[in-house]
Amino acid sequence: MRTFLALYILSALSLHAASIFVPENGKFAYNLAGITQNFKNHRNDYVTLRSEYAKSGEVYKLDAIKNEYQIRNYYQRDLFKLQDMFVLNSEAYIKSQNAKTFNEAKRTQYSKYIFNHKKLTHQKTTPAMKEWGGLTHPPVKKLTMPLHKYDENFGAIDYRKISSPYFNPALQLDIDQVSRSELSFGNTVKALADHDAFLAKKRLIKNATTTIFMSSLVFVCDKSTRELVELLIDKHHEGVDVKIIADGTVGKILGHRECFELMRNAGINVIETKDFFKHKLKAIYHTKTLVVDFREAIAGGQNMLDADNLSRGTDFQNRDIDLYIKGPMVSDVTKQFLENWAYQVSLNPEHPLLLGYEFYLKQQMKLEREQGLRGQNLYARILNNPETRMKGVCRFIKQAPYEDRHTIGKAYLKLLPLVNKHLVITDPVKSDTYTPDPLKASITDKLDNFDMFNQLHLATQSLARKGKKIDYITTNINMAGNENVAMMNDRIKEQLGMGKDMAANISLLKIVLTNDYFGIPHYENLLKDWYPHKSVHIWKHLSFMHSKIFYFDRVVSSVGSLNFQHNATDQAYESTTICMDEKLNAELDQILVQDMANSIPLIFQALK
């Protein structure tokens, strides 16, 4: 087990009274010229050193177990910039493995390695750099080839010529009923990856003139969140009505309430939810939305913390996706916020009801119906027309434990059996497996519900058994401890900067233990439930894969807050945007292909 590393750190702590940061132990005896030559010796000709670094005086040590070179003071570096020291020739990489696509080359290469079941990593025979995060090449920050050269499942597609059961009006009417939602038409929906989502949120808030409705699981009062909170306070002082909802229990447990107090002291209404133990227990407020002036919205999976807000995708923070929304679906996002607000006011009577906004929204949705922007009577005309069926045809699904804990899962159960060729899932950590008897679950989950999770698990497993292609994009062992890893790495950087090596060692120990706690069951479930199916390709992203996407045959996309995990599927407040939109799909194609390129495939020669 990787706990050996933890024990090593502990022993190092006891041996070094004067203290030295454990990763800085070892002989830093390699320079970039020697490393480059070693790459060539191992036929790694698809990676070349940028000319400006040819005379660099940087020194490295070799981690012989991982076959990775580590630069001195690694934990104090900008790893995103270090990743740019070498250039990847993607065509040469494909050729090096006699493959047709980038992903085929990657799977071919890793299939030659032994997978260490105790350390949950491959024993690479190809040398690499530590900042590549377990990859044998620098991260792919820009796609330079057509998508089909990266993955055979992403060839060109003409949405005007394809047929799909997802265009069936009867199916969409069924989804309306089970999910308590409806389609709207002509929406503009854009994918916002990582830091781009934060920039978009700041832009919307700065331009707000009347109202700002915002929700998040947490508001960690770090650099980026504090910046956004100050913007919210400024807008409040300008006369904009700002309303905030966040989870009350998680914020208290983790000690992330400072920004709530800043907003309250400025006069902003902040609701911290009080129904965590109501309903079926663990009813966390996990939906993340921003609505401005009833006209624009952002919804998805990103929380208010640096690991999301400042992420650059491959810098060992969160890899996450939000959606920018403009059009009639903004009313649906607003509706879920106002309904959740009203329910929370019933538990928190000191907060005001928003009856005026509810009346305004009702009139706005009535007008949208009159304008032909929503309405079941239009489904057949919109969905049977190749010119309109993939242009912003979307629904926003609200899931709330006080109403229906399973709305999103019910919609997925309508969509999953109709997958014809290809399903893509992005999911942070595979913490769950089929659990018919919760009493046999872990001690923290014995009182939980697994009803919907079990159904979704069986539905996706059925696709795998039928040989449907599934790309399952998740997280690698070194980031399995979720955004806490990124937060702890920031703390290590600060501690080392202050000369607190002993404290940095303790922080590093916490990372190892946290990764093991979440990572061991994660890998056990991947190996047991998903690896045995040949049509399932498992990808472990180098960052923490925090996005929550289900992508059905490249026709229907779902992007939201719902993890493929029982607390999300059965207990929590969640939301997702389900769309049929050609432009959004083109953006998601790029994002998902890049995510696979920046992932370690779970495939191996042997399990050790």
pLDDT, position 254: 87
Say if residue 277's pLDDT is above 90: no
pLDDT digits (tens, 9 = 90+) for 297-352: 999 999 999 999 999 999 999 999 999 999 999 999 999 999 999 999 999 999 99
- pLDDT of 2: 54
The domain limits of the chain are: 31-106+121-146, 166-473+522-599
Element containing residue 508 per DSSP (H, E): helix 501-525
Cα 88 to Cα 110: distance, rounded to the nearest angstrom? 17
Q: pLDDT per residue over 388-399, tens digit each?
A: 999 999 999 999
CA 105, chain centre distance (Å):
25
Residue 17 pLDDT exceeds 50: no
pLDDT for res 446: 81
Of 477, 463, 466, 483, nearest to 547 (Cα)? Answer: 483
* DSSP code, position 165: G
Q: Give the percent of the chain with pLDDT over 90.
A: 91
Residue with tokens 């044998």: 136
For residues 230 and 263, the answer to whether their CB atoms sit within 8 Å is no
Place of tokens 């058994």: 465
Q: What are phi and psi of 160, to 5 degrees?
A: -80, -15
Query: Tokens standing for 116?
Result: 């260490």
Q: Give me the phi and psi of 327, to 5 degrees please.
A: 130, -170
Asked whether the predicted pLDDT for residue 195 surpasses 90, the reply is yes
Would you say 320 and 488 are in contact if contact means Cβ atoms under 8 Å apart? no
Q: How confident is the model over 193-198, as a mean pLDDT?
A: 98
This model's pTM is above 0.85: yes
The residue type of 196 is D
Which residues, in sequence order, are CB contacts of 275 under 8 Å at separation 6+? 283, 344, 347, 401, 402
Q: What is the pLDDT of residues 340-374, one digit of tens each?
A: 999 999 999 999 999 999 999 999 999 999 999 99
Biggest CA–CA distance in the chain, Å, is 76
Say how many Å lie between the first and final Cα of the chain, rounded.
12
Q: Are 61 and 31 contacting, i.e. CB atoms less than 8 angstroms apart?
A: no
**pLDDT tens profile 203-214:** 999 999 999 999
pLDDT, mean of residues 19-26: 90
Domain 166-473+522-599 matching CATH 3.40.50.1220: the answer reads no
